[in-house]
């Protein structure tokens, strides 16, 4: 079978997809390598609306809710009500048509929901439950009695809690940081006094420069591992913590469960990110040359979207987190996606049990390029994969953002600041798909101009395939793009400049964009010929397979046209999708893409 040769010539130069340093950026799908991407549908929320778009950016479906949406295994769309990830006390699950399937509102005045939540299956209960993060109000007296620094003033102090409710809205389990604290300032307060380095399962009440205050932990993400029956929760201050849910949950005994979770049984089973917080590593510091600084042993800064990589996916059981890299004191900041194996020891052996990261140790890593302007740094030996852009000005998000491991091993990344989604391969971290959210504070924009962060921000993005329970049985026919314009993006063959004899070969004949596009029944292809010559126009599918020969003859000088009715050489109707049409004449070749929708 004939194949379309996408890359040819004497010299081939790749061009960069990333261009976030530009002042003007075209929105929606910017690049798609269909042969290497995990092709499906991307879900994201923006400006109070949730959008499901295909790989080309066509809108497949929308919902009138859009804060931090995700699909449930039951087939619904779960989201917070209100549009602000930082402040949410009501959540609901809706069906394809937007009808409410389930809803819960936190009415207790001492609890303030925020950022993240999840619908899980509680194996001990044998039913689905709902967990969420909430700031829990404390009093100054409680803080002082626990051993907080008496020289500080504690106004509206709070610590984060994880609350679990059943499908009837009853609180059945709760875990709170305040029940797992330690201090070494007041020996007389024996209940919380100890050697900080010897108590990694508790958090220091008197962290240097960060006394207990409102939203003290600022946790922004959590995840549940049903196999382990554990929960992981991430703090923006650069640490995440693993908590034992199964061994602190008592069936049909909410009071007992909450009491048990407040004991040492609820202490951290593992923590990662900033060992200086429990006196097992160096904190960030300014060097003797105060123009330079070091991150010490701190690995995370401003991080978001902690998760276990799900069973059946490459890296299953490891942690995946978006490391915004705020507060890591790099001369030139940039963000990272990081995968962590918490079971690795200093020899790189998987022990099958949690290993404290300082015990596993660190590699001292030099910057791969001097133009990145970075100092040497300590990198945990438990970090087994990392993505960062080669150009450090191209990928940096100060807040929000998400990561998702995909079935083919790729990773989908959402950078919140610029509403920037992209999918990377695991080995050479090549970009195989890229999209910019066109919805801004000022409406839909085809081109995003320079503006302040989160002008078109998206908190998270998720990729799903058509066999997901939320999509099965529903009409996934693509509609218009959000801007209403025909998708116009790069494909792999566009990322080359072919040079021969030091001169770029430029087509002398002009191949115009087909119309209509997308089309259902028939489309017209026009082309201009500069002199009488043999012209060949062929259709190929996205995999490069030959579909049909449309023209193979001497064409008239000037404008010519040919119609394609969506059939192959045998007259059989072809499937919906993207196709290429290629014009060849003498040593010239031009290629354009078109969409067939049935």
Contact predicate 124/246, CB 8 Å:
yes
Helices (H) and strands (E) in the chain, counts: 3, 45
* Helix-strand-coil split of the chain, %, nearest 5: 10, 40, 50
**pLDDT (0 to 100) of residue 11:** 28
The residue written with tokens 């030996």 in the block is 381
**pLDDT (0 to 100) of residue 496:** 62
**pLDDT (0 to 100) of residue 262:** 98
Which pair of tokens denotes residue 23? 């002042």
Contact predicate 34/14, CB 8 Å:
no
For the stretch 181-221, pLDDT in tens is: 999 999 999 889 999 999 999 999 999 999 999 999 999 99
CA distance 53 to 50: 10
Contact predicate 320/403, CB 8 Å:
yes
Strand pairing category for 319-323 and 336-340: antiparallel
**pLDDT (0 to 100) of residue 128:** 98
Can you give the pTM of this predicted structure? 0.83
CA nearest neighbour of 490 among 16, 9, 3, 11:
16
CA distance 456 to 445: 9
Which pair of tokens denotes residue 303? 């991080």
**pLDDT (0 to 100) of residue 231:** 98
**pLDDT (0 to 100) of residue 382:** 98
The residue written with tokens 């049985």 in the block is 473
- Exposure of 176 by Cβ count < 10 A (0-12 exposed, 13-18 middle, 19+ buried)? buried
Contact predicate 272/300, CB 8 Å:
yes
Which pair of tokens denotes residue 136? 């829990």
Which pair of tokens denotes residue 235? 């703090």
CA distance 228 to 244: 8
Bond into 478 cis (ω within 30) = no
For residue 152, give the 3-state DSSP assignment. coil
CA distance 131 to 134: 10
Dihedral (C-alpha) 83, 86, 89, 91: value to the nearest 10 degrees? 50
What is the rounded average pLDDT for all residues in the chain? Answer: 90
**pLDDT (0 to 100) of residue 272:** 98
Per the DSSP assignment, residues forming a β-bridge with 337 are 322, 387
Segment holding 373, helix H or strand E: none
Specify the long-range contacts of residues 142-145, CB closer than 8 Å, at least 24 apart. Answer: 142/178, 143/205, 143/212, 145/189
**pLDDT (0 to 100) of residue 464:** 98
Round the CA-based radius of gyration of the chain to a whole number and report it.
27
CA distance 325 to 308: 20
Contacts of 59 by beta carbon, 8 Å cutoff, 6+ apart: 51, 52, 53, 478, 479, 480, 481, 482
Which stretches of the chain score pLDDT less than 70? 1-22, 496-509, 542-543, 587-588
Strand pairing category for 11-12 and 90-94: unpaired
For residue 162, give the 3-state DSSP assignment. strand
Buried (b) or exposed (e) across 247-256, using 16+ Cβ within 10 A?
ebbbeeebee
Contacts of 363 by beta carbon, 8 Å cutoff, 6+ apart: 378, 379, 381
Contact predicate 205/196, CB 8 Å:
no
Could you give the domains of the chain?
86-219+246-272 (no CATH), 509-596 (2.60.40.4070)
């Amino acid at each position: 079978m004939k194949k379309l040769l996408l890359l040819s010539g004497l010299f081939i130069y790749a061009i960069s997809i990333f261009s976030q340093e530009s002042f003007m950026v075209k929105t929606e799908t910017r690049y798609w390598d269909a042969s290497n991407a995990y092709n499906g549908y991307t879900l994201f929320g923006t400006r109070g609306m949730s959008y499901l778009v295909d790989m080309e950016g066509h809108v497949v479906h929308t919902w009138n809710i859009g804060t931090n949406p995700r699909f449930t295994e039951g087939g619904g769309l779960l989201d917070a009500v209100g549009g602000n990830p930082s402040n949410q006390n009501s959540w609901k699950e809706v069906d394809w048509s937007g009808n409410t399937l389930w809803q819960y509102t936190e009415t207790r005045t001492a609890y303030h929901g925020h950022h993240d939540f999840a619908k899980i299956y509680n194996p001990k209960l044998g039913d689905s439950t709902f967990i969420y993060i909430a700031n829990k109000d404390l009093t100054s007296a409680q803080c002082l009695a626990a051993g907080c620094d008496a020289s500080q003033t504690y106004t509206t102090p709070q610590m984060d809690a994880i609350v679990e409710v059943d499908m009837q809205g009853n609180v059945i389990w709760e875990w709170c940081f305040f029940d797992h604290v330690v201090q070494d300032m007041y020996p007389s307060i024996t209940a919380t006094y100890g050697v900080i380095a010897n108590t990694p399962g508790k958090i220091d009440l008197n962290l240097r420069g960060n006394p207990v205050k409102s939203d003290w932990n600022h946790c922004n993400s959590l995840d549940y591992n049903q196999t382990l029956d554990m929960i992981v929760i991430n703090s923006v201050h650069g640490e995440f913590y693993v908590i034992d849910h199964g061994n602190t949950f008592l069936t049909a005994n909410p009071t007992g469960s909450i009491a048990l979770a407040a004991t040492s049984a609820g202490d951290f089973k593992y923590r990662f990110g900033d060992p200086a917080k429990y006196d097992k590593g160096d904190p960030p510091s300014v060097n003797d040359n105060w123009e330079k600084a070091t991150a010490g042993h701190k690995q995370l800064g401003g991080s978001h979207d902690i998760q276990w990589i799900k069973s059946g996916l490459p890296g299953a059981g490891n942690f995946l987190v978006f490391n915004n890299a705020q507060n890591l004191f790099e001369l030139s900041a940039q963000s990272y996606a990081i995968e962590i194996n918490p079971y690795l020891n200093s020899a790189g052996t998987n022990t099958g049990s949690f290993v404290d990261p300082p015990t596993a140790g660190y590699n001292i890593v030099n910057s791969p390029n001097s133009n990145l302007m970075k100092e040497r740094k300590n990198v945990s030996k438990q970090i087994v994969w990392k993505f960062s852009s080669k150009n450090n000005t191209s990928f940096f998000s100060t807040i929000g953002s998400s990561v998702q491991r995909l079935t083919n091993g790729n990773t989908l990344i959402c950078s919140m600041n610029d509403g920037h989604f992209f999918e990377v391969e695991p080995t050479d971290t090549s970009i195989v798909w890229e999209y910019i959210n066109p919805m801004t504070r000022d409406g839909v924009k085809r081109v995003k101009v320079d503006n302040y962060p989160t002008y078109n921000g998206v908190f998270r993005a998720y990729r799903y395939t058509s066999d997901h329970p939320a999509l099965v049985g529903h009409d996934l026919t693509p509609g218009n793009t959000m801007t209403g314009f025909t998708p116009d993006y790069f494909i792999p063959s566009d990322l080359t400049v072919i040079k021969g004899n030091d001169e770029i070969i430029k087509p002398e004949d002009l191949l115009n964009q087909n119309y209509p596009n997308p089309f259902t029944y028939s489309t017209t292809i026009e082309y201009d010929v500069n002199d009488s010559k043999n012209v060949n126009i062929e259709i190929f599918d996205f995999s490069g397979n030959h579909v049909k020969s449309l023209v193979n003859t001497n064409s008239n000088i000037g404008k010519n046209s040919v119609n394609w009715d969506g059939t192959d050489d045998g007259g059989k109707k072809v499937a919906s999708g993207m196709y290429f049409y290629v014009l060849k004449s003498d040593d010239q070749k031009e290629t354009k893409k078109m969409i067939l929708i049935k």
